[in-house]
Structure 1
Amino acid sequence: MDTNKIKNILRNNYLKYGLILIVGLFLGWAIFGNNPHSHSEAEEHAHEDAAGQVWTCSMHPQIKMDKPGKCPICGMDLIPLKTSGGSSDEAIDPNAIQMSKEAIALANIQTTKVSRQNPIKDVQLYGTIKADERLSQSQTSHVNGRIEKLFINFTGETVKQGQTIATIYSPELLSAQQELLEAAKMASAQPLLVQAAREKLRLWKLTDDQILNIERSGNVSPLVEIKANTGGIVVSKKVNQGDYVNQGNVLFDIANLSQVWAMFDAYEVDLPFLRVGDKIDFSLQAVPGKTFSGRVSFIDPILDKTTRTAKVRVETANPGFQLKPEMYANAIIKAPLKQYNNEIVIPKSAVLWTGKRSIVYVKQTDGDAPAFMLREIELGPSLGNSYVVISGINDGDEIVTNGAFSIDASAQLEGKRSMMNEESSRPVTGHEGHDMSSMGSDRDMKTNSSTKSEHAIINVQGLCDMCKDRIEKVAKGVSGVSSASWDQKTKQLHLNFDASKTSVDAISKAIAKVGHDTDKDKADQSTYDALPGCCQYR
């Protein structure tokens, strides 16, 4: 009877479920209830994580709060910055920027170890081919008379030395020949008279053989042949057949092109790197793929006041007459900077330049975690795609050559030293956060007024690489301009400048002054006309 009652009770589902629940609670107490500190430790870690969290504003990274909320300056929601309880390497400087390997890969950050070397500056020059003035001559008439026949009929014709280029009818020459024949009859009595008659004909460029032939034959002629006194190319034709000319009139200008000059324009900033005797390699747009060479024979000691350039003359042989006057030439001179021998050279991409400070980021090698430290440096001369470093970097330092802006942005968000902040910001907590709501606006105003760095775009007219070089150098020459880049296709000049030192109007006037129209100012016609032919855009 008792056994049946027990069986009926066990058949009750509610009782089954109740027993299972009691057994489960007992097992949970047996497993987790024996550690009296587990609950308190979890609460303690959670409290520490909340206390170590720093909150900042994405628009105003100088704001640092110990709890979430609104930015006291712009009212944006604060974002979590960093937890002090996170993993970090004690060997890393607290001012260094630590980044995960994933973040470094996403930002494409690349580093390079620097070393000392003998720097070489690439100086870019633009110019044109000119005839060698020392080999050019003017062919003149030796007598007064009428041009009976011209043997040179057009500009560009080749002339050989001694070639007959014209025949002139001269009554005066006829009289002089007759005087010679009369004097020859009295040669025994008046020998000096014969010598005077011969000398008169020599002054008219008759040769001794011609004079002797006149004396022997007794024949006189009013026609005289004009011989070329040099060989070359006729670059200018001054007369036509039938013209009357006087003694000394120029008939032709003849240029010898066996040797030519390459005349380059060098800006005043590049002149210290050029020396007479330097070898220059240059190329021509008309002869692609071929390089010509020569040596600097002359540097003009006077600058052109309009273009701010000096002429650099390079002498070069022209055996195949490939170099023709007025061809455009581009030259690159590799000038060794002997005064900066054994100095550190770094790529331009590694430098963040604010106008006053030049900074790089150096990779820290003390810890395991990737970290980068800001380093202020002093720059020497530009070498084209690199800089000479005077001080601030040591031989063997590993610097960031790509992605430095990403690291600097991270530094600004963490309130550490960066391109825009010379000193690291101190986190604001507690009651200081409430005071910031009344002071933040003033602080932001002071920060903006102290930098006054602005970006502007103006339209500048130009055509070629020479225009680009001239426009950018003139713009950078204006005090306060930190960078200038002109796009040859869009004609837009991108500027970064200090608004407390200069303005867009001042930069525009400086560019117009060297011959380039802007959307604000127009260049003088005389200045424009002085530009090389490849730069004339009107």
Structure 2
Amino acid sequence: MNRCIVSIFLFPLLLVLLLVPLQAEDTKYTCPMHPHYISDTPGSCPICGMDLVPIQAGSNNKTPGNDETVLQLSSRLVQTTGFRTEPAEMASFGRLIRSFGEVVANKRLQTEISLRTAGWVEELIVDAPGDKVRAGDILFRLYSPDLVSAQQDYISALQRNNQERIDITRSRLASLGVHDSAIKAVAEKRKPLRAVPYYAPRGGRVESLTIRKGSYLRPGDMAMLIQDYDTVWVNVSLAEQDISFVTTNSKVNVTLPSLGLHIDAVPIDYISPTVDPKTRTAELRLLVENSNGSIRPGAYADVEISTDIRPRLSIPYESVLQNKEGNYVIVELIKGEFQARSVVLGMKNKGRIEVQTGLKEGETIVTSGQFLIDSESSLRESFHKMQKMAASLSEIKLSNEQMVLMNHIVEAGLYIHEKLAAKELPSPETLSAGAHAATKLLPEVEGTRLAYIVKDTEKLLSNLEEKITLSHWRALLAQLNDALLPWITQAKPEYYRELGLALYKNDSGEYWLQFAGDGHNPYSDGTFTEVVLGNPQPAGEVQDGQ
């Protein structure tokens, strides 16, 4: 919204500035609440009635940061507009990768209860999926002739007090899946159990139940599956381009929106070595504590992964301004003096962003109110551009090097005239110097009226290979001279006259520049008139060849 306000302020303030001469020493006044209102005199804001405050012009002294990007504001304006600043400082963070995941059961905590011998379920204690069990609880009792026979062998060994036989028969019972407590009961009573109890080796919930009372089971058949939910997994889909940045040491935070639960420092249990060719993602598995059982499989999870964590120079993200040229911040050089500084940014993390170049640790930046400063400095820049554009061609001052480049463009027209007057085709290679001169000069005169002339001539002097007839070249010469005409007649007429050049115009309104002397019409055999450089009045009609 602030950026929209800046745009609204920009145009009316620019109009106000254009209506008055720019005086660096003049004091302007503005309203702290309505900065688009500018006045030459102190008083009250006509919008809200607040007292106007002065906007100080930039100093000409060689103080820190004293250049075209520096803006000075009065201390009262700084206070009333509520600027907040803070230093650029080091913060420890890294690349932030956001993804999503799904809570699933930890398969390492699954326990399968399977039979090692054939038998029938005599009694089913845990009789429904979802039942909660604790380690040591009886799950069911099984009648098996093999188990009865093995118990009798064990009792016989005990009665004979044959220790070797006792150990062998006891081991056989254990290998058939008989619990130590059941074996102990047989030893104490010296009587076999008809239905042998099976116990839960760990606590959890019955995930799957495949038996009922009376069911017959063969060796290897699964009776039930117990799942412990003290910890759960979160399966995360990780984008292919992010995989290389994640390691088991990366810091991971998980948020479960449905529970309003945020968990920090979640360990990474597994990173898939492969990428799914259909989704172009790899699986990342997290291990989450769930001792209270509140996290249920199937829940959605937001995942943030921080990697390459190290100290970085950082600033609040809200302090960054952007335009078509890139990112920049407002730096407070000294109290009341601000400068727009271009910065190269890096990683962003939790409201802060890394500054790779453009700032030093400890430099003070504006974190709020910077849009007002930005709009003011942008207005000044825009005004300078408008001043350049408003300057007439005669007011434009070129350096010696720039004049050489401009004359290369003019010489292109002289060369084309000379060839056409001789009924010859010009050489595009010879004209390349003029095109290169226009290309080099254009950025140096950008923002002035001369830029339009240079841009037109650059376009005309490019792609000359298509000019293969005299008609083509005559049309090009007419267009080139039309483009150069304001420069020659308004900016430098006396200069080019003293160089020994003359300007002519034929009855069709086509111009050409040539060396002074007898005029040679490059377009046709019709009459033409000399336009005296430095004098808007024509010198008189000249017949062809006269």
TM-score calculated relative to the size of structure 1: 0.50
User: Quick check: 1:95–1:416 contact (8 Å CA) kept in 2?
Assistant: no
Structure 1 residues 135-188: Cα deviation after superposition (integer angstroms, max 9, x where no partner):
32111123213333321122221212232212234344456567x499879989
Alignment of 1:142-153 (within 5 A): 142-153=116-127
User: Quick check: 1:361–1:399 contact (8 Å CA) kept in 2?
Assistant: yes
Structure 1 residues 301-339: Cα deviation after superposition (integer angstroms, max 9, x where no partner):
547543746525245361x4444444455577788943x
Displacement of 1:203 in angstroms is 2.6
1:168 alignment counterpart: 142
CA–CA distance in structure 2, aligned partners of residues 107 and 81 of structure 1: 27
1:379 alignment counterpart: 345
Aligned: 1:243 with 2:236: no
Counterpart of 2:202 in 1: which secondary structure? coil
CA–CA distance in structure 1, aligned partners of residues 360 and 69 of structure 2: 18
Structure 1 residues 372-409: Cα deviation after superposition (integer angstroms, max 9, x where no partner):
43322222321231212122123444433335455545
CA–CA distance in structure 1, aligned partners of residues 228 and 350 of structure 2: 38
CA–CA distance in structure 2, aligned partners of residues 111 and 142 of structure 1: 75
Aligned counterpart in structure 1 of residue 316 of structure 2, from 347, 357, 364: 347
Distance 1:176 1:301, change over 3 A: closer
User: Quick check: 2:154–2:170 contact (8 Å CA) kept in 1?
Assistant: no
1:439 alignment counterpart: 452
User: Quick check: 2:114–2:223 contact (8 Å CA) kept in 1?
Assistant: yes
Q: 221-230 or 161-170, which moves further after superposition? A: 221-230
User: Quick check: 1:237–1:251 contact (8 Å CA) kept in 2?
Assistant: yes
Aligned counterpart in structure 1 of residue 289 of structure 2, from 303, 311, 316: 316
CA–CA distance in structure 2, aligned partners of residues 272 and 108 of structure 1: 47
What one-letter code is carried by the residue in structure 2 that aligns with 1:146? Answer: W
Aligned: 1:402 with 2:364: no
What one-letter code is carried by the residue in structure 2 that aligns with 1:84? Answer: L
Displacement of 1:271 in angstroms is 7.2
Counterpart of 1:83 in 2: which secondary structure? coil
CA–CA distance in structure 2, aligned partners of residues 309 and 404 of structure 1: 43
User: Quick check: 2:210–2:223 contact (8 Å CA) kept in 1?
Assistant: yes
CA–CA distance in structure 1, aligned partners of residues 157 and 318 of structure 2: 89
Aligned counterpart in structure 2 of residue 296 of structure 1, from 267, 281, 284: 267
CA–CA distance in structure 2, aligned partners of residues 220 and 379 of structure 1: 79
Distance 1:376 1:157, change over 3 A: same
**Comparing both chains, which one has the higher relative contact order based on Cα–Cα distances under 8 Å and sequence gaps of 6 or more?**
1
CA–CA distance in structure 1, aligned partners of residues 187 and 267 of structure 2: 54
Considering only aligned residues, what root-mean-square deviation do their CA atoms show, in Å? Answer: 5.4
User: Quick check: 2:237–2:281 contact (8 Å CA) kept in 1?
Assistant: no
Aligned counterpart in structure 2 of residue 430 of structure 1, from 392, 411, 434: 392
User: Quick check: 1:122–1:384 contact (8 Å CA) kept in 2?
Assistant: no
Alignment of 1:27-426 (within 5 A): 80=18, 83-86=21-24, 87=26, 88=57, 89-91=59-61, 93=66, 95-96=68-69, 98=71, 110-120=83-93, 127-174=101-148, 180=153, 200-206=172-178, 223-261=195-233, 276=248, 284-285=256-257, 287-288=259-260, 296=267, 298-300=269-271, 302=273, 305=276, 306=279, 308=281, 311-316=284-289, 318=291, 320-329=292-301, 337-338=309-310, 341=311, 344-353=313-322, 357-365=326-334, 372-415=338-381, 426=388
Length, aligned pairs only: 359
Structure 1 residues 214-265: Cα deviation after superposition (integer angstroms, max 9, x where no partner):
7998866664332222222212223333333221222221123344455666
User: Quick check: 1:379–1:389 contact (8 Å CA) kept in 2?
Assistant: yes
Segments of structure 1 that go 5 or more residues without pairing to the other structure are 1-56, 62-76, 447-538
Distance 1:145 1:294, change over 3 A: farther
User: Quick check: 2:391–2:449 contact (8 Å CA) kept in 1?
Assistant: no
User: Quick check: 1:109–1:404 contact (8 Å CA) kept in 2?
Assistant: no
What one-letter code is carried by the residue in structure 2 that aligns with 1:112? Answer: T
Structure 1 residues 483-502: Cα deviation after superposition (integer angstroms, max 9, x where no partner):
xxxxxxxxxxxxxxxxxxxx
Query: Identity, % of aligned pairs?
Result: 19
CA–CA distance in structure 2, aligned partners of residues 198 and 231 of structure 1: 26
User: Quick check: 2:348–2:354 contact (8 Å CA) kept in 1?
Assistant: yes
CA–CA distance in structure 2, aligned partners of residues 346 and 362 of structure 1: 12
User: Quick check: 1:379–1:387 contact (8 Å CA) kept in 2?
Assistant: yes
Displacement of 1:293 in angstroms is 5.7
